[in-house]
Structure 1
Amino acid sequence: MTTTVDPVTRPPAAGAPNLTRSALSVRRRVTNQVALGLIVLALFVAVIPLGLVVWSVLSRGGSVISWEFLTEDIPNSFRRSGGGVGPAVIGTLIITGMAALMAVPLGVLGAIYLNEYGKQRPLARLIRTMADIMTGVPSVVMGLFIYSAWVLLFDARTGFAGALALACLMLPVIIRSTEEMLRLVPDELRQASLALGARKWRTTLTVVLPAAISGITSGVLLAIARAAGETAPIVFVVGVTTAPNWNLFSGENTALPAQIFRNASQVFEPAQERAWGSALTLIVIVLVFTIIARIIANRFAIKER
């Protein structure tokens, strides 16, 4: 009895090339190159508008920036040339700094509770839901809330009112981003620390947080960058001033976003120049603090041996 072999399933002869595998390998390489090309193309498309924005700010604001521009008082008239944005620089630093002092500890501690203690308890689920809702709240709504709950109540437009508005904007971003970073820490690290006799709070402080510090820092920076560039809350609650005011609790104040808004809305050339200079100053401030935070995060992060 003879056995017939199906020509479709017949194995190739010894030494003969496998055309099916070769064709499949070529197709995979071509598909990979096409996908890589599309990814690079998408990257360039995303970078083009960002590059145009940076170039516009540098070209228009670079000619305005000087030590006098960063330190002198704001002119009383939009038509006047010269002057600077010194009060706005000071206001941006102290208002954003106060907002960070209020929002960062609360946000990080809240995220620790949600991930390490609350888990899926009803209170933890409620906090997550409220944080998600607040993340999508427009800044103008937060400004109106602080205006009605603080400014009208105490009849005071101050830098602290602006810090409260910015802190409310920063808080949900810090909570959600920090919680996600804590989730990425392997449970084996927690179990090893607990097995060595460390209590839960000490494990969280000395093991979990250092392991997630880089991601937490990135989330905090995103929140601070968003707060530093917000205009609506500042315009509503801090008032207007042309001289530096270091006191957050007394007197009106100002910030760079408010000066960008007020000067850019004018048709006078000196005001337009101050708007571009304020925009470049704000970008540089955010960049400097980003670099400092990255250095701090790398210093305290757990290094792989």
Structure 2
Amino acid sequence: MDAINTLAPPAPPLRKSRVRSGRRVADRLLVGACTLATLIGIVVLGSILAMLIIEGVKGFSPLLFTEPTPGPGSEGGGIANAILGSLVMTVLGILVATPVGVMAGTFLAEYGRHSKLADLIRFLNDILLSAPSILIGLFVYTLMVRPMGSYSGWAGAVALAIIATPVIVRTTEDMLRLVPATLREAGAALGAPPSKVITAITWRGASAGIVTGIILALARIAGETAPLLFTALNNNSWFSPNLMGGVPNLPVMIYQFALSPYANWQQLAWAGALLITITILALSIVARFVIKPQRAR
């Protein structure tokens, strides 16, 4: 054994790899850049939220939710009419966009897949997804407001539905594609038709993502101002039940009141902006609690 050990060549000395060292430096630089970018984003977002809370809380009072918006130079008042108008148009818009978006996304993921028609629909949906909201407002203005001869909440709801639909379509298709193909095969093996497999298996498996897409669409249209300027406009009183004429809404009210020279209007604009932010945050939290039991199953 001693002779064998003597004849064995000595082990080469360990050398430090320049490539490995360079990779460590590059990794640390990338981690540092990502951390810095994250901190900058947190600081900017935190500053916006802090300013919004500080200025918005000053305008919160019981009158904010019971009184209509005041006239120019008036004191007091609230934004009850704008809250109700935004709620009505947003609900109408999402009620129209949800079935259309879910059905279209289901066609793209389950039936169309690689067909030329599906590719065309995806291309058009991507264009609509990135289209400026003011362009959609002008389209609905030409389509509905001019022929009807008046601004209306119906036109505003249609504009919001057009904005929300591509978000729901894209999210629904992506979530359905994530459902394992083995689940579809299992349903087909039991003799279930494709429609039953979709409604009982794939929709249920992708329900969390579909609901998230609807909430994202709701958050997208909740603060849209440009399309409502051309469709619903605004007023400082309660709107009629038929939604004809100018319909008050929070986004346009915030836009107009924030640019006004009246301190009371500016304070109401801050309160309205804070209210929209709280509403979207509450919807996201509720959706997470609703989706959580489904994930556990």
- TM-score, normalised to structure 2, is 0.89
- CA offsets per residue over residues 235-280 of structure 1, 9 Å max, x none? 2111332233373543431111011111011122112111111110
Give ranges in structure 1 of 5+ residues lacking alignment.
Answer: 1-9
Query: Is the Cα–Cα contact under 8 Å of residues 217 and 294 in structure 1 kept in the other structure?
Result: no
| Aligned match for 1:122, one of 116, 124, 128 | 116
**What's the counterpart of residue 185 of structure 1?**
179
**What's the counterpart of residue 296 of structure 2?**
303
**What is the distance in 2 between the residues matched to 1:89 and 1:246?**
15
Give ranges in structure 2 of 5+ residues lacking alignment.
Answer: 1-8
**What is the distance in 1 between the residues matched to 2:177 and 2:10?**
51
Give the residue type in structure 1 aligned to 2:273: A
Question: Greater CA deviation, 240-249 or 264-273?
Answer: 240-249
**What's the counterpart of residue 154 of structure 1?**
148
Q: In structure 2, do the counterparts of structure 1 residues 11 and 229 end up closer, same or farther at CA, with 3 Å as the change threshold?
A: farther
**What's the counterpart of residue 4 of structure 1?**
none
- CA offsets per residue over residues 21-70 of structure 1, 9 Å max, x none? 8x887776665444333322221112222111111111111111122112
**What is the distance in 2 between the residues matched to 1:51 and 1:256?**
23
The reply to whether residue 208 of structure 1 matches residue 207 of structure 2 is no
**What's the counterpart of residue 5 of structure 1?**
none
The reply to whether residue 231 of structure 1 matches residue 225 of structure 2 is yes
**What's the counterpart of residue 46 of structure 1?**
41
Indicate the SS of the match to 1:104: helix
**What is the distance in 2 between the residues matched to 1:213 and 1:11?**
64
Give the residue type in structure 1 aligned to 2:62: W
The reply to whether residue 72 of structure 1 matches residue 67 of structure 2 is yes
Query: Is the Cα–Cα contact under 8 Å of residues 95 and 248 in structure 1 kept in the other structure?
Result: no
Give the RMSD, CA atoms, in angstroms: 2.2
Query: Is the Cα–Cα contact under 8 Å of residues 234 and 253 in structure 2 kept in the other structure?
Result: no
Q: In structure 2, do the counterparts of structure 1 residues 207 and 11 end up closer, same or farther at CA, with 3 Å as the change threshold?
A: farther
**What's the counterpart of residue 3 of structure 1?**
none
Q: Mapping of 1:232-247 within 5 angstroms?
A: 232-245=226-239, 247=241
- TM-score, normalised to structure 1, is 0.87
Query: Is the Cα–Cα contact under 8 Å of residues 94 and 246 in structure 1 kept in the other structure?
Result: no
Query: Is the Cα–Cα contact under 8 Å of residues 162 and 233 in structure 1 kept in the other structure?
Result: yes
Indicate the SS of the match to 2:248: coil
**What's the counterpart of residue 274 of structure 1?**
268
Q: Percent identity?
A: 34
Q: In structure 2, do the counterparts of structure 1 residues 63 and 20 end up closer, same or farther at CA, with 3 Å as the change threshold?
A: same
CA positional deviation for 1:174: 1.2
**What is the distance in 1 between the residues matched to 2:36 and 2:187?**
46
Query: Is the Cα–Cα contact under 8 Å of residues 237 and 248 in structure 2 kept in the other structure?
Result: no
Q: In structure 2, do the counterparts of structure 1 residues 19 and 60 end up closer, same or farther at CA, with 3 Å as the change threshold?
A: same
**What is the distance in 2 between the residues matched to 1:274 and 1:143?**
25
**What's the counterpart of residue 246 of structure 2?**
252
